[in-house]
Structure 1
C-alpha cells in the first residue's frame, strides 16, 4: 500500500432495517482496512457521492426486480460517486490521478473493478455534474415523448434532481410553456425566478384543488408530462391532457417515499377512458432501455453548461458524518436540485 494512504477507510452501513422511512438512527459509520487493488482493479478515493431516493427502495422490502441489489442490515450503502484513482492493479489502463465515476459511493475509499468505472474526460466543466440525473429527463423527452414547437410540458417534482433540469431541457428542445409542481411555495418561487418555469402548481394544503391550479397554469392543456411523482399528480395530469399527449413516467416518489409503503410500489388512480378517448400515450422511462442516452446527454449537457443555456442546481453536503442527515433531508423534501456529499481532499 502506498505510504501516503491511510490504513483505514470509513463507510456508512445500514445498521438495522427500518419499518418505514429510514432515518439517521438506522445508519452507522465504521472503519475498515483500505484494500489493495489486484488485477483488473483500482482503488479510488471518493470526492463526491450522490444522495438519491432510490436508496429508499433498496433498503425497503419491495426491492425485487430492481436492477441493483437490495441493501440489508450490515451492508455498506452504495450509489454513484466521483473520485480519483490512487492505486491501480497490474495491467489496468487507469493510473493514479485519473478522475473516474463508479457506483461505490458512501465510503471514503472504494475498490472498483476497472470495468465498473469510467474516466470523466473533459466534456463537463465541473466533476460534480457527472452526478446529475439530467440524463433521465433528457432521455424521457427525446426518446419517449418528443417535444414539438409550442408544446406545454408539465414536470412533476420539479424541484428535485430530475425536475430542476427537465424544465430547461424541455425549453431548449422547443417547448412553448413549461409548468412544474412542488409542495414548497419557496421552491415554487425559485423554479420561476431561477429556472424559468412559466408557472408552478403547489399540491399542498391551502393552495386550492390541484385540478384548478393546473387548469390555470396550463389553460390550453398539457402536451407532454415528465412525471417524477405519480399519485394524485399523475391523476390530475391525465385529466388536463390534450389530445395526443405524451406522458413519460420517470419516477414515482409519492409511493416510494411513503412511510406506509415498502419503497417499491406507488398506486395511482388513472382515468383509462380518458387515455383512450384522448389518444394519450404513457410510457415508463428506464435508462437501461436506452443505453445510448448517457453519452449523448453528457455531450449536450457540457455544451449547454458552457454556453450558460442551462445550470446544474445542486446542494453540496460537506463531510461523511452528515450523509445520513442529507438522506433524511432528501426524503423530507428539504433540498433543491441534486444532493451530493462532498468529502475533503487528503
Structure 2
C-alpha cells in the first residue's frame, strides 16, 4: 500500500445543471473544477485515460424511475471510464494499476478501492478497448444474442443501429456463431458500406433512404428469426412484420424515443406476437454480469485471431465530453464513441 500523492489534487468534471426537455442542450450542463480531499484509508485516486458516452445516459438525466438512479443535479455525472491508479491507500490496488470503473465525465476519479476493478491487460489490446469490445458493450452484444434472443446456427439475424458500439460487435458475433444471414441498419451510406465490407454483414440499408419495413424486406426476403433492437420505433415495427414463426427479439435500447417529450405510440402491429408466436424480451447488461468471464475468454480469442474487429470514434479532451455525447446521440460515431482525457 502506498500513501504517496500529489500535494494538491483537483478534478475537472461535468455536472447536470437542469433536467433536459427533449434534446439536451449545453445550458443543461456545467463544467467545473473542484479540489479533491486527501485520500482516506482504503481509497484510491485514478487518472482517467478514456471516458465512455452511451445512449442510456440520456435516461439518467430525467428524474424518472429506471434500472439505474437518475443523475443528481449539480453533482458529478457518472459513466464508464478506464484509467491508472496514481495514488493509493488500499492494499487491493497499487499505483500504476489499470482499472475500470463508473466515475467518468471527469479527468480524476477518487473513492473506495472497491469501486474500481483492476484489469489484467491482454497483450496488444489498447486501454480503450475495455470500454467497448472487451467491456460492457461487447458483453451486451454477446448476451443479447446468445442468452436473451437465444440465437441458433442457421438463424437470420437483424440488428438495428448496426454501426454503433453494440451493433458492430453483435453482427460479428452472430456471424461467428453460425447465423445464415446477418442484416443491419445504419444512418448513412458510409456506415452501410462499413457493415458489409468490415463487419461481415451480408446486407445492410440506410434507414433514412426509405420505408424501414420495405428496406428490411429487400435485405431479408426470407424473413428474420432474431432481432437485436437498439432503436425501437419504426425498426421494431418492421421487425415484427418480418419475423418468421417463433422469432425472438432482444430489446437492448430504444434510442429513437430517448428525447421525445411524449411517450411514443406502440408498434401498430403487435398482433404479430400472437400470430407468429414471437418473443420480445428486454434486458440490461447488468442482469448478466456473471457471463463476463465466459465472454472475455471467447472474445479475447476472437480478437487475437483477428476475427473480431472494431472501430472507435475518439474525441480529445475531458472538456469536450458533452459534445461527444450530443454527437453520439445524433449518430455521428462509427463504433464506440470515446473521450480521450488528455
1:283 to 281, 284, 303: 281
Residue aligning to 2:293: 295
Residue 23 (structure 2) aligned to one of 21, 37, 46: 21
Instruction: Describe the shift of the 1:33–1:215 C-alpha distance in structure 2 as closer, same or farther (beyond 3 A).
Output: same
Aligned pairs, number:
335
Q: For residues 1-346 of structure 1, what are the structure 2 equivalents within 5 Å?
A: 2=4, 4=6, 6-61=8-63, 63-67=64-68, 69-89=69-89, 91-123=90-122, 125-132=125-132, 133-204=137-208, 207-258=209-260, 260-261=261-262, 267-344=265-342
Q: CA deviation at 1:35?
A: 3.0
- Greater shift, 271-280 or 128-137, is seen at 271-280
CA deviation after TM superposition for structure 1 residue 168, in Å? 0.4
Normalising by structure 2, report the TM-score. 0.92
Counterpart CA distance in 2 for 1:287 and 1:38 is 32
CA distance in 2, matches of 1:86, 1:266: 46
Shift of 1:343: 1.4
* Aligned-CA RMSD value: 1.8
SS at match of 2:289: coil
Q: Is the 8 A contact 1:257 1:331 kept in 2?
A: no
The structural deviation recorded for 1:39 is: 2.0
Deviation at 1:312, TM superposition (A): 2.0
**Residues in 1 aligned to 2:119 and 2:265: alpha-carbon distance in whole angstroms:** 38
- Stretch moving more, 320-329 or 207-216: 207-216
* Deviation of 1:299 (Å): 2.1
SS at structure 1 position matched to 2:210:
coil
Q: Structure 2 stretches of 5 or more lacking a match?
A: none
What is the alpha-carbon distance in structure 1 between the residues aligned to residue 258 and residue 310 of structure 2? 25
> What per-residue deviation string (whole Å, max 9, x for no partner) do you get for residues 154-211 of structure 1?
001112111111100110111111100112222112212221211112222xx23222
Would you say the 8 A contact 2:4–2:88 is kept in 1?
A: no
What is the deviation of 1:268?
2.8
User: For structure 1, which runs of at least 5 residues remain unmatched after alignment?
Assistant: none
Counterparts of 1:50 and 1:161, CA distance in 2: 11
State whether residues 213 and 235 of structure 2, in contact with CA within 8 Å, keep that contact through their aligned partners in structure 1.
no
Contact 1:17/1:72, CA 8 A, preserved across alignment: no
Cα deviation, residue 2, structure 1: 4.3
